[in-house]
Structure 1
Amino acid sequence: MSDTRIAIVLGTRPEIIKLSPILRVCDRRDVPYTLVHTGQHYSDELDSVFFERLGLPEPDYHLGVGSGTHGAQTAEMLTGIEEIVTEEDIDVVVVQGDTNSVLAGAIATSKLDAELGHVEAGLRSFDREMPEEINRILTDHAGDHLFAPTEESADLLRDEGIDESRIYVTGNTIVDAVEANRALAAEKSTVLDEYDLTAGGFILMTAHRAENVDDRDRLVNILTGIDRIASELDQPVVYPIHPRTRERIEEFDISVPETIRLIEPLDFLDFLRLEDTASLVVTDSGGVQEETCILQTPCVTVRDSTERPETVSVGANTVVGTTPGDIVDGARAQLSKPTDWDAPFGDGNAAERILDIVLPSHTENKR
């Protein structure tokens, strides 16, 4: 048993998914850890069901932060994480991604006698209007161990003057998670039958980012573009809708096209099954861009930039913005391509590599 005391901080659905392989490797190696849930996702459909279906342990701490302004949310998390890291005498804090939970974990750790490991380091959209971009940059510059998913991400860290000794190319833990759960989803998920869907006969949609759903014109344009694709393909669109987006649709009095079926948020296995069997995925999610790339499903990203350029380079994804015509053109282009690209995010052993790096290093590098 390792004597390194690790805290793993998470707060949203993608973090639960992408950190689950690290939790499993810790369990397999008998490495103790403290699991801290900030409560940034506060809907049960987006939260506890993921722990249940993925067979993960209940968090040791749940901060219950919920919604709020960026400042209020981050401040409350910061206070709670600092207390836990101090009381538990934590050696290494591990965070993943670009959320306010990540930023709070980074700031708290940087002020204490503990190291910070950042899973999925080095991602950049180069759009500083995105709160997530600021969170990524600040976390990487505070981090002691930066776990870059690809060489391209590592190069971006080097370009920012970050010392080579802090950078490790490990692959992305999403590959670990998808490979571990793809067959299980095919075996156990009944989502296709539940929604009367045929593999290859529907479009999957997600849209949740503030810059899209808080802007009425952009949201209407996205829905219009996807409606046109659906009509052209004569396929329904399945949209597991985030509670925030549903609120905006009601607030803006938007009429959702009949081709688009709004359904409740799904757990990871059901959503993975839809990603695996859709003819096309239209999304504004970074994680979905990665997952569809791994699953060989064509993807159209309704944003103006992406921090996953490797998905575009290999042909799995195209970034089209939110103009309806561009969305349709992007969909046509993706559907005309072969889907035999090589996913660039590693071999499915990222979690093992990350733990190998974290465990022997903290005593030598502790601040």
Structure 2
Amino acid sequence: MDRRSFFKKAGAASAGAVAASALAAPAIAQENPKVNWRLTSSFPKGLDAIFDAATEIAANVSEATGGNFNIQVFSAGEIVPALQALDAVSSGTVEMAHTCSYYYVGKDPAFAFGTAVPFGLNARLTNSWFYQAGGNELLNEFLATYNTYALPAGNTGAQMGGWFRKEINTVDDLKGLKMRIAGLTGKVVEKLGVIPQQLAGGDVYPALEKGTIDATEFVGPYDDQKLGFYKVAKYYYYPAWWEGGPTVHAFFNLEKFKGLPKSYRRILSDACAMANTNMLAKYDQRNAHALKQLVADGAVLRPFSQEILEASFNAAQEVYAGISATNANFKKLYDSQQALKRDSYLWMQLAEYSFDTFMMLQQRAGKL
């Protein structure tokens, strides 16, 4: 081919490409529109392991869409109070929130299953339920009545049982105790004589310091150290039988979520899944170091007694039976989790539990 012929054909091909590009541009613009959302978090910026999950979602979505889908993140109180995040999403005040479903059990006890219920699932089984056993579909079927859609966007792992001003050895020691505790657990501990209080994270320390409450649970060593609870209540109990694997969700206004291009919904879903994995990894890595420092600073570790655990378990079963008898949404979610639990613990007690137990014994023997 001579030089003139080559450039003539190349020019024709280039012209065709330009024409094709011009034709495709409007379609591409429609599939990758400029979208600006606002996200309200239920957490303060200082609790970085939880709060940063929202900023990570926003950053990953922006990067994956070439900056076309931007989510502006606001901490608790900047737009609405921490415990009003769901209402803001439902009404369309904001398009998105990062919050815990169980903060809203006052609206319906079924909200508890989005985060955790007493003697529920650990972190791995929680993810199994949401991603593989139909849990997320069941939750969103319920949430649709509140004009919301949700995706798992964080998990703390099993939490600590909280900080107490005095030792708690028996069920009688719980009677009359004013305790900050979230979710459905309030109804359970009421049966044991506790007076539950629901407070946002930023309000807990001053309430404990002033004696407005006698005890509080929050998350675990990493966050608890930041909040300084050991300074005003030295007894640190474990485990949080009410939060074996609590999930933090990204809540979306249902109509806004449906209105996104399919590609944006996929990107948003993937970003939330990454945040879900990353938060758990952060806590697993950071809690051990924080626990050592808390003990060095005077925290006194105590396990809940078998008496308290048994009484709490029995009280939880009474609560579940009572609610299930009158609330179909609650019963459907509860039955789904119970089915997974019955099967999964058959498996987990073999390989997983046996392996972890052996390795923990090696750690105690100083071999690791």
TM-score (norm 2): 0.32
Larger Rg: 2
Q: Which has the higher contact order (CA 8 A, sep 6+)?
A: 2
TM-score (norm 1): 0.33
